[in-house]
Amino acid sequence: MSYALLSVSNKEGIIDFAKSLVELGYDIISTGGTFKALQEAGIKVTPVSDVTQFEEIMNGRVKTLHPKIHGGILADRHNDEHVQAMDKHHITPIDIVAVNLYPFEETVAKEGVTEMDAIENIDIGGPTMLRSAAKNFKHVLTIVDPSDYDEAIERLKSGDDMDAYRKEKMIKVFNHTYHYDQAIVEFFSGAKASLRYGENPHQQAHLVRTNATPNTILGAVQHHGKPLSYNNIKDADAALNLVKQFDRAAAVAVKHMNPCGVGVGDSIEEAYDRAYAADSMSIFGGIVALNRPVTKALAEKLHEIFLEVIIAPSFDDEAIEILSQKKNIRLLEVKMDVDEDATEFVSVSGGYLTQDVDQAFARREDMQVVTDKQPTKAQWEAALLGLKVVKSVKSNAILLSSPTHTVGIGAGQMNRVGALKIAIERATELNENIALASDGFFPMRDTVDLAAEHGIQCIIQPGGSIKDQQSIDACNEHGIAMITTGMRHFKH
């Protein structure tokens, strides 16, 4: 006789599945609720308690956790010792296990869920059976997903390559129990939280903390304001990663993941003034990150405009008092040390991509002046500032900067000349001290020609195009100094 054990929380499709199994000659064993559903549908079914000779106890906390069940699932049918143990203890082999688990994730996603609700929805017997059966995939077929019932019946009927099929389902099971356990960890450790919504109000969203150290947005101390929104978290992260790159006092304003104004200075107030002046329109409703403590004087300036989030290594008490006059503004205290080994993840349909965070910066000795004209000291400073910022701008990116602040930013264009056109249009000043920084090389000389038309006299770019010489020739014709870095900084 062949046995199939069915114990499912989600009863969808279980009756048809059981009927088909019976037609294929299986005897069905089931737990309380599943047993009842099958019996009511007129299916011949044996209660687990008949097999274990032990009633279900403690509101179902213990029902299948019994050697008669686990011996039947785990026995290696080719192992004499296992076969003898089955004989000795009157254990019947179980060849199919169809189990799905208490809905832990759905339960904890409900508003007002109590800890007790969550605890009661941690399935113990189910994952234990799934893991036993999956371990013994050489003999046992395990089905954890009701959408696999029809396919399973077809495969059992045809008998086609059952070894491969059982293995495929075993992998699915361990993946499932892994995620099930992860959801439990996330809930009880507070690592997972619901957000009000995602990028737009009709999108549901959660955040999951995996390594929320005090130098991250998710590990920040929030001194004031509403909870961070999905978009706030992403923008704040972009702003923090950029401001951390500076040793000098620096202020970074970010809108929609792109910097809109960046300034450095001898004091944080001076740096902020420059970042603000770089684009006093776009900063409105933005995120500001600072790499020095927020003083009273700085707080007074920040208080003048509407900002969503302010990030800084600390806030003076008086600064908090001033900024807290606005109910919603979020004040985040974050440590400024850089995590050298940081990794980033991007989800794509079918999986996700990971990569090292782009924290590299070309060494000065690897940079080359490739033109007749040498940059002036001020142009060098402007170029190096631009280079630092341009890698935080969505590609294709062109950035115009002075030695102390950004001047015009062209972000996320499908061609490089288009990015320069925007940077020029937005430029607050254009003079001999402004440098143009590009995140990628110039495929043609057109960007250089356009820069020359607007009086730009210094360019920094990775180099490496087969047509580099054309751009260099263009620079020489226009009297522009060009530095190549050998390092590209795309940001998609």
Ligand X SMILES: NC(=O)c1ncn([C@@H]2O[C@H](COP(=O)(O)O)[C@@H](O)[C@H]2O)c1NC=O
Rule CB under 6 A: say whether 380 interacts with ligand X. Answer: no
Question: Per DSSP, which regions of 291-364 are E strands?
Answer: 307-312, 330-333, 343-348, 351-356
Site for ligand X in 92-111 (CB under 6 A): 99-102
List the helix and strand counts (H, then E) for the chain.
18, 21
Cα 252 to the chain's mean position, in Å? 23
| Closer residue to ligand X (CB): 63 or 255 | 63
Amino acid at 392: S
Stretch of 26-34, 78-86, 161-169, 224-232 contacting ligand X, by CB under 6 A: 26-34
Q: Which of 13, 32, 313, 464 binds ligand X (CB under 6 A)?
A: 32
Rule CB under 6 A: say whether 125 interacts with ligand X. Answer: yes
> Are 459 and 480 spatial neighbours (Cβ–Cβ below 8 Å)?
yes
Rule CB under 6 A: say whether 43 interacts with ligand X. Answer: no
Least distance to ligand X, CB of residue 126, Å:
2
Stretch of 1-9, 173-181, 249-257, 292-300 contacting ligand X, by CB under 6 A: 1-9
Least distance to ligand X, CB of residue 43, Å:
14
Rule CB under 6 A: say whether 63 interacts with ligand X. Answer: yes
Stretch of 119-127, 316-324, 366-374, 457-465 contacting ligand X, by CB under 6 A: 119-127
| Closer residue to ligand X (CB): 60 or 198 | 60
Which of 226, 256, 303, 326 is catalytic? The answer is: 256
What 3-state class would DSSP assign to 22? Answer: helix
| Closer residue to ligand X (CB): 120 or 270 | 120
Question: Per DSSP, which regions of 69-184 are E strands?
Answer: 96-100, 141-143
> Are 351 and 345 spatial neighbours (Cβ–Cβ below 8 Å)?
no
Stretch of 122-130, 134-142, 311-319, 444-452 contacting ligand X, by CB under 6 A: 122-130
Please write down the long-range contacts of 137-140, taking CB distance under 8 Å and 24 or more positions apart: 137/166, 137/167, 137/169, 137/170, 138/76, 138/163, 138/166, 139/75, 139/76, 139/77, 139/93, 139/95, 140/73, 140/94, 140/95, 140/96, 140/97, 140/166
| Integer Cα distance of 182 and 191 in angstroms | 10
Least distance to ligand X, CB of residue 241, Å:
43
| Integer Cα distance of 432 and 235 in angstroms | 33
Site for ligand X in 396-455 (CB under 6 A): none
> Are 22 and 43 spatial neighbours (Cβ–Cβ below 8 Å)?
yes
By CB under 6 A, the count of residues binding ligand X is 21
Q: Which of 12, 24, 55, 61 binds ligand X (CB under 6 A)?
A: 61
Rule CB under 6 A: say whether 468 interacts with ligand X. Answer: no
Rule CB under 6 A: say whether 117 interacts with ligand X. Answer: no
| Integer Cα distance of 340 and 31 in angstroms | 52
Q: Which of 72, 93, 126, 386 binds ligand X (CB under 6 A)?
A: 126
Least distance to ligand X, CB of residue 102, Å:
5
Q: Render the burial of 255-275: b for 16+ CB within 10 Å, e for the rest.
A: bebbbbbbbbbeebbbbbbbb
Q: Which of 65, 83, 153, 277 binds ligand X (CB under 6 A)?
A: 65
| Closer residue to ligand X (CB): 61 or 77 | 61
| Integer Cα distance of 51 and 289 in angstroms | 65
| Closer residue to ligand X (CB): 103 or 418 | 103
Q: Which of 9, 20, 46, 465 binds ligand X (CB under 6 A)?
A: 9
User: What would the two tokens of residue 485 be?
Assistant: 């870095």
Of the candidates 25, 30, 38, the residue with the CA atom closest to the CA atom of residue 5: 30
Least distance to ligand X, CB of residue 11, Å:
7
Least distance to ligand X, CB of residue 399, Å:
56
Helix axes 80-88, 67-74, angle to 10 degrees: 150
Least distance to ligand X, CB of residue 21, Å:
16
Rule CB under 6 A: say whether 124 interacts with ligand X. Answer: yes
Least distance to ligand X, CB of residue 178, Å:
16
Of the candidates 317, 288, 290, 292, the residue with the CA atom closest to the CA atom of residue 304: 288
| Closer residue to ligand X (CB): 37 or 290 | 37
Please say if 135 is a catalytic residue: yes
Q: Is the peptide bond before 396 cis (omega within 30 degrees of 0)?
A: yes
Query: From the CA atom positions of the chain, what is the Rg in Å?
Result: 32
Which of 36, 135, 335, 454 is catalytic? The answer is: 135
| Closer residue to ligand X (CB): 15 or 342 | 15
Strand 26-30 to 2-8 pairing:
parallel
Please say if 256 is a catalytic residue: yes
| Closer residue to ligand X (CB): 9 or 359 | 9
| Closer residue to ligand X (CB): 60 or 293 | 60
Least distance to ligand X, CB of residue 235, Å:
42
Rule CB under 6 A: say whether 13 interacts with ligand X. Answer: no
Of the candidates 390, 435, 442, the residue with the CA atom closest to the CA atom of residue 416: 442
Rule CB under 6 A: say whether 64 interacts with ligand X. Answer: yes
Which chain residues interact with ligand X by CB under 6 A? Answer: 7-9, 31-34, 60-65, 99-102, 123-126
**Residues acting as catalytic residues:** 135, 256
